[in-house]
Amino acid sequence: MTSSHSDKDKGYGLDHLRAEVNYRPRWGEVSAAWRQTVSCQCDVSYGVGDRGFLDFFPAANAATAPTLVFIHGGYWHKGDKSFYSFVAQPFVERGVSCITLNYDFCPSVHITDITAQVQQALVWIWRHADELGIDGNRLHLSGHSAGGHLTAMMATTRWSDVAPDLPSDLIKSAIPVSGLFNLAPLLVEPVNEVLRLTKQEAHEQSPLERVANTRVPHLVGSGGHESDAFNGQSDAYAAALQQAGVAVERLQAPQCNHFEVMDAYADPQSELFQKMLALIQRS
């Protein structure tokens, strides 16, 4: 059960949070400052789409360390990896390399196309692991909001269907945060004017319909002060994974709304960060 709070009945709307005013500029400033102080490779093309670029932040022991790939949110039609370099800092400082991804946006493409694009980004990372100087057998995946949805779509991908030489366990763990796992409710939301979801695509692009495909260990996170709609999505996905026999832990970051949860994500003192780090370091 979620606690009583002002966002409880907001459904899938996020405009009241004024993300661009209250969160992203600050994240962008912190991210830009950190990029100036560390070794990183920015705007590396992974070869698919107009926005098909990634930023790579290697840990000191990158060749043997795990690598966390992070997918930003923005309801599949806005946002940028440059705002989210800050999430990499505490992981890199603790021996985990990080990669942040961009992807193409609706309405120029459909969510189906974005899913395929992110699959190809992960294939590119796996195939180019030696060039990046990372261990391709230690890839972990996380994302926030729409990125949480894409994380779950990757975790429920049959990689042999993408390319026959790919390992079935290409992703060693999945950490979707404040994700959307059943897209059907969005069919009647105003955002669908941009997404252009059909009933068929909403079904096909819902990770809840695909849990039988995965054995990837999950940590499913959200903010304790998010709406019941968002927390209900995470609850349902975690329950479906558990029923399918997948190792999963469900965690709410206390007193965090849909955007504040990303501050907890990058806070080494938070339970969310500590559990993410522990999951990543296990494999």
DSSP string, 111-154: HHHHHHHHHHHHHHHHHTHHHHTS-TT-EEEEEETHHHHHHHHH
Residue-wise pLDDT for 209-220, tens only, equals 999 999 999 999
Q: How confident is the prediction for the chain on average, in pLDDT?
A: 96
The model's confidence at residue 21, banded by pLDDT at 50, 70 and 90, is confident
Rg of the chain over Cα atoms, rounded to whole angstroms, equals 17
Residue that has been written with the tokens 């975690």 in this structure: 238
Q: How far apart are the first and last CA of the chain?
A: 32
Positive/negative CA dihedral, 138, 100, 25, 144: negative
Per-residue pLDDT, 5: 75
13 or 50, which is more confident: 50
Sheet holding 41-45, edge to edge: 41-45, 53-57, 97-101, 67-71, 139-144, 174-177, 218-223, 248-253
Percent of the chain with pLDDT over 90: 92
Quick check: helix, strand or coil at residue 179?
Answer: coil
The mean pLDDT value for 136-150 works out to 98
| pLDDT at residue 138 greater than cutoff 80 | yes
pLDDT category of residue 22 using cuts at 50, 70 and 90? confident
| Domains of the chain from N-terminus onward | 37-281 (3.40.50.1820)
Reported as a pLDDT band with limits 50, 70 and 90, residue 4 is low
Give the C-alpha separation, 57 to 116, whole Å. 24
Of 74, 75, 76, 72, the closest CA to residue 86 belongs to 72
pLDDT in tens, 219-229: 999 999 999 99
Answer whether residue 1 shows pLDDT above 50.
no
- DSSP labels, 49-96: STT-EEEEE--TTTTTS-EEEEE--STTTS--GGGGGGGHHHHHTTT-
Crossing angle for the helix pair 146-155 and 111-127, to the nearest 10 degrees:
60
- pLDDT digits 0-9 by tens, 242-283: 999 999 999 999 999 999 999 999 999 999 999 999 999 998
Q: Give the pLDDT score at 226.
A: 95
The CA distances from residue 42 to 50, 56, 102, 111, in Å, are 16, 6, 11, 25
Query: Which run of H or E residues covers position 232?
Result: helix 228-243
Mean pLDDT of 199-206: 98
* Per-residue confidence (pLDDT) for residue 192, from 0 to 100: 97
- In this model, does residue 2 exceed pLDDT 70? no
**Does the pLDDT at position 3 exceed 80?**
no
Burial (CB < 10 A; 0-12, 13-18, 19+), residue 191, is middle
Spatial CB neighbours of 278, under 8 Å, sequence gap ≥ 6: none
